[in-house]
Structure 1
Amino acid sequence: MTRPLAVFDIDGTLVDSRASIHRAACEAARDIGLPEPDYDRVRQIVGLSLDHAMAVLEPGLSPEDLARFIAGFRASFNRMYEAGHEEPLYPEAMATLRRLHRDGWRLALATGQNRRGVARNLAREGWADLFISSHCAEDGPGKPDPAMLHAAMAACDAEPESTVMIGDTAHDITMAINAGVLPLGVAWGFHTVEEQKAAGARHVAGTFGELCVVLDGFAARAPVSRVA
């Protein structure tokens, strides 16, 4: 029985967190007296582990100021969540996940979020029943290191040739290539189609429907794998 594995990124792929991530970066910058970064700078670091991302965003900070910058980013998100904020799913995201699950796909998550953020997302209605495993930057090396994908394949009893990584950034694409799995991008997140293709994306889908067509083709060609 063919049971391919689809590993999904969260931010910018399933969840529209563009506004909240930019807001948190701006509030964290103001807290330490820096100018607010524009969205184009912020979008480039999404997907990296938080410590790495903030160091890339403001590379000239002292270790003390970097620690304050990171803490300010976390505090901004905590304030948003305490006020009841929840990032919306992209239209058709949930229907696509349910359809893949119904068709026999194994599903996992690989994200630059911390474990707390993953838990918040897994608390969304229906999510805990869909994903076999979840992997984040707190578990070990972050993107583009292949560690999360190696862990996902181990947890889901999958091989690289039957696994696809679906994300919206060059970091996702590079991680997939480093792990030897099929790198697929989506056009509605943080990095442009051109940036993802330059990183080596085999295909960048413009809609969830288009993504499903590509995944159907992959499943039809995937080698027979063990039943999880």
Structure 2
Amino acid sequence: MQARPPVRAVIFDLDGTLVQTRVASWEIFEKVSRRFGLGVDRPEQYFGLFQGNVYASIRKLCRDEAHADEVKEAFLQLLRDEYTPPLVPGVGDVVRRLAADCTLAVMSSNATQVLRRVLESNALAFCFAHVFGGDVTPDKRTAMRAFLADGGSGFGRRCSADYDEAGRQVELDGASTVLVTDTAGDVRDALEVGIRVIGVAWGMHTVEELTAAGAEFVALWPQEIAPYLLGDAAARPPDGACVVPRELAEPTSDCGCGCGGAPAGTASADGGVAAAAAVRRNRRRMAGVRLPRPAPSGAATAGRPGATAEDELVAAIRRVCRRG
């Protein structure tokens, strides 16, 4: 069997892939269907709309173009206002691990505002270098082609606010780019564009439907994704830059992306990210720089009563350097 080229970029679908969407999105669409008389009154009918482009499928239910535009806008507005689905358990660690080795993008039929809300609330926003929302790029084939055509797509993020400009830019093509999705329509769109596809079994469509559409592999659990894409490298600590978790706290777990893990429930869209990004940038320039000597015995030290902010910062930087 001919060896596949290494994976350089991974595009994640949002709904049904990163987040649990079957109930949450149906509850939104059911309101739209009743309001506009679309005749979709069962969840299974709604899930069937994703066999192709969902907006094209909805358009076929409408009287005319004006009606279709009104339905789409109402649907997107309800998603912006009310849609906050939970993350699929375990998928956050997968995203962080892949961010160390690949450029990540997220693509969705949902509104960009929803992508931001979901990713920020789960401390994943800065793991993704690119986002494609349905209110900006409703056709996913267009989004995938734009991603491949943009020469800057090879600059990734490593779970911090800045782009990895100090790293080596990678050249992206269809053979080194993989879409991860839960719908047969996305599978067919990606194959048409020339991108590899793996499916996930916990979303809209079944293993059989995803396989029949052309997915080269269907994951039953999130933990299968990184080993399938990275091979043995998935089990090794990555060489990527390491950032300090929010408030320079001790990490609760090491997710593998190089960020050192983050305390449960913390978001990344605040001052903690700024501190993390600053430390990450400074690591590139720290060769030969001597850190302050440890405090004398008996003095206040980081993590103990009486520790100063400077103590905490020095301790955090030392932890980062040891991991590097």
TM-score band by shorter chain is 0.7 to 0.9
CA contact (8 A) 2:7 2:177 kept: no
Q: Confirm or deny that 1:119 pairs with 2:123.
A: no
Which protein is richer in helix relative to its size? 1
Counterpart residue identity of residue 197, structure 1: T
Q: Secondary structure at the match of 2:41?
A: coil
Identity value in percent: 28
Residue 78 (structure 1) shift:
4.5
Deviations along 1:16-71, one digit per CA (max 9) or x if unpaired, are 12112111221112213454521111112248666424224x2x523444344334
| Cα distance in 2 for residues equivalent to 1:218 and 1:142 | 35
| Cα distance in 2 for residues equivalent to 1:25 and 1:18 | 11
Long gaps (5+) in structure 2? 1-5, 155-170, 235-324
Q: Structure 1's 62 and 151: CA in aligned 2 closer, same or farther, altered over 3 A?
A: closer
Residue among 203, 213, 226 paired with 2:227: 213
TM-score by length of 1: 0.79
CA contact (8 A) 1:109 1:131 kept: yes
Residue 188 (structure 1) shift:
0.5
Q: Confirm or deny that 1:196 pairs with 2:198.
A: no
| Cα distance in 1 for residues equivalent to 2:98 and 2:218 | 18
Which residue pairs with 2:48 in the alignment? 44
| Cα distance in 1 for residues equivalent to 2:132 and 2:202 | 22
| Cα distance in 1 for residues equivalent to 2:226 and 2:136 | 29
Counterpart residue identity of residue 35, structure 2: D
| Cα distance in 1 for residues equivalent to 2:58 and 2:115 | 19
Residue 5 (structure 1) shift:
0.9
Which residue pairs with 2:68 in the alignment? 66
Counterpart residue identity of residue 105, structure 2: A
| Cα distance in 1 for residues equivalent to 2:182 and 2:7 | 24
| Cα distance in 2 for residues equivalent to 1:150 and 1:41 | 29
Q: Structure 1's 114 and 53: CA in aligned 2 closer, same or farther, altered over 3 A?
A: farther
CA contact (8 A) 1:109 1:134 kept: yes
Residue among 92, 111, 114 paired with 1:94: 92
Q: How does 1:128-143 map to 2 (within 5 A)?
A: 128-140=125-137, 142-143=139-140
Q: Structure 1's 95 and 69: CA in aligned 2 closer, same or farther, altered over 3 A?
A: same
Q: Secondary structure at the match of 2:180?
A: strand
Identify which of structures 1 and 2 has the higher relative contact order when contacts are C-alpha pairs closer than 8 Å and 6+ apart. Answer: 1
Structure 1 runs (4+) greater than 6 angstroms displaced: none
CA contact (8 A) 1:177 1:183 kept: yes
CA contact (8 A) 2:79 2:110 kept: no
CA contact (8 A) 2:53 2:185 kept: no
Which residue pairs with 2:19 in the alignment? 15
Counterpart residue identity of residue 76, structure 2: R
Which residue pairs with 2:146 in the alignment? 151
| Cα distance in 2 for residues equivalent to 1:184 and 1:108 | 15
Q: Secondary structure at the match of 2:197?
A: strand
Q: Structure 1's 211 and 78: CA in aligned 2 closer, same or farther, altered over 3 A?
A: closer
Q: Structure 1's 168 and 188: CA in aligned 2 closer, same or farther, altered over 3 A?
A: same
| Cα distance in 1 for residues equivalent to 2:98 and 2:226 | 8
| Cα distance in 2 for residues equivalent to 1:136 and 1:34 | 24
Q: Secondary structure at the match of 1:190?
A: coil
Q: Confirm or deny that 1:174 pairs with 2:227.
A: no
CA contact (8 A) 2:76 2:111 kept: no
Which residue pairs with 1:6 in the alignment? 10
Q: Secondary structure at the match of 2:20?
A: coil
TM-score by length of 2: 0.58
CA contact (8 A) 1:27 1:72 kept: no
For the aligned residue pairs, the C-alpha RMSD in angstroms reads 2.6
What is the aligned residue count? 210
CA contact (8 A) 1:13 1:188 kept: yes
Which residue pairs with 2:31 in the alignment? 27
Q: Structure 1's 78 and 133: CA in aligned 2 closer, same or farther, altered over 3 A?
A: closer
Long gaps (5+) in structure 1? 221-228
